Amino acid sequence: MSSLICKTLHHVRSSVRACSSNYNNLYFIQIHLFSLSSLETTPNQHSFTVNYFINSCGFPSEKALSTSNYVKFETPNKPYFVLAFLENHGFTKTQISNLVRKYPPVILCDPEKTPLLKFQFFKSKGVSSTDVAKILSSAPTVLKRSMENQIIPSFNFFKSFIQSEEETISAIKRNFKLLLVDLQACALPNVEFLREANVLDAKNLFMLKFMSGAFNSTSDRFRKIVNEVKKLGFNPSKLNFVLAVHALKSMSKSTWERKLRFIRSGVCLRMTLLWLLGSIHGV
């Protein structure tokens, strides 16, 4: 056991020499040295992992216990470098804790391969470290997605549509899920169908920037929603049309049917839209 602790201390000292000396780095070193003390009294791998999540990541005991069922490690070496990497790239302690809670496997990733590639991509687009930390801690699924197959194609798709890299970045900061939309199965065919339905590109752009979830739906379902909105009498050239599409996309089938019964009773179009949009807020 003492040899394991000595080995880990050697890694910590090496990391201190490699990193700049600042309070935050020392904070993480102290936290991980504290975690080592629990290793002496809890040799069981499962107990060590639980203690680590509690002491170093701020997990409640119940969350630490449940997480340790599918994320296990015997030493703090790899988790230390992951947490230190995140801290040195602008993550607050709260953001780090939130990220690990939402996506525990990140604690065992290679920071030079997974988080770093995403950081470099966003930074190359002019996104600040603060905003990158906000994106990744709020939408950790981004870390799991391929740069070549998902992140870069999604960014390029929205950039070609919005025709401004700066506005594309603004749209992504407003809605991180833009990067997770299934382009081939959802976004591309749905945008094309809206064009066929005579929805102006300006209205499509509004939906893409502010209501991207409307496009993250299979083509068949999306077509049914658009056709239903047409039947309700909305004009495809008006903004109300895309708002109604978004509203119908956001509600369950039972809620949809209940609201359609109300609509078919003869209310005016303005009241119809308000009633539809109310579904998004659970009205």
What is the radius of gyration, based on Cα positions, of the chain? 24
| pLDDT > 60? residue 97 | yes
Please give the structure tokens belonging to residue 271: 């009241």
Asked whether 218 and 185 are in contact (CB, 8 A), the reply is yes
Report which secondary-structure segment, H or E, holds 174: helix 165-174
Q: What is the pLDDT of residues 60-91, one digit of tens each?
A: 888 888 888 888 887 888 888 898 999 999 99
Per-residue pLDDT at 254: 75
pLDDT-based confidence at 92, cuts 50/70/90?
very high
> What is the C-alpha to C-alpha distance for residues 150 and 148, in angstroms, rounded to an integer?
6
> What is the C-alpha to C-alpha distance for residues 225 and 231, in angstroms, rounded to an integer?
10
Q: What is the pLDDT of residues 223-261, one digit of tens each?
A: 888 888 888 788 888 888 888 887 787 777 777 677 666
> What is the C-alpha to C-alpha distance for residues 214 and 208, in angstroms, rounded to an integer?
8
Q: 57 to each of 69, 77, 95, 165, how far by Cα in Å?
A: 16, 14, 10, 36
Per-residue pLDDT at 27: 41
| pLDDT > 50? residue 12 | no
For residues 207-229, give the mean pLDDT. 77
For residues 195-216, give the mean pLDDT. 72
pLDDT-based confidence at 178, cuts 50/70/90?
confident
Per-residue pLDDT at 266: 53
CB atoms within 10 A of CB 265: 7
Per-residue pLDDT at 86: 92
Is residue 63 helix, strand or coil? helix
Among 133, 143, 157, 148, smallest CA distance to 109 is for: 143
Per-residue pLDDT at 164: 82
Phi first, then psi: give them for residue 119, nearest 5 degrees: -60, -45
Q: What is the pLDDT of residues 14-44, one digit of tens each?
A: 544 444 444 344 444 444 444 444 444 344 4
Question: Taking all residues of the chain, what is their mean pLDDT, rounded to a whole number?
Answer: 75
pLDDT-based confidence at 268, cuts 50/70/90?
low
pLDDT-based confidence at 187, cuts 50/70/90?
confident
Read off the amino acid at residue 134.
Answer: K
Per-residue pLDDT at 274: 59
CB atoms within 10 A of CB 14: 10
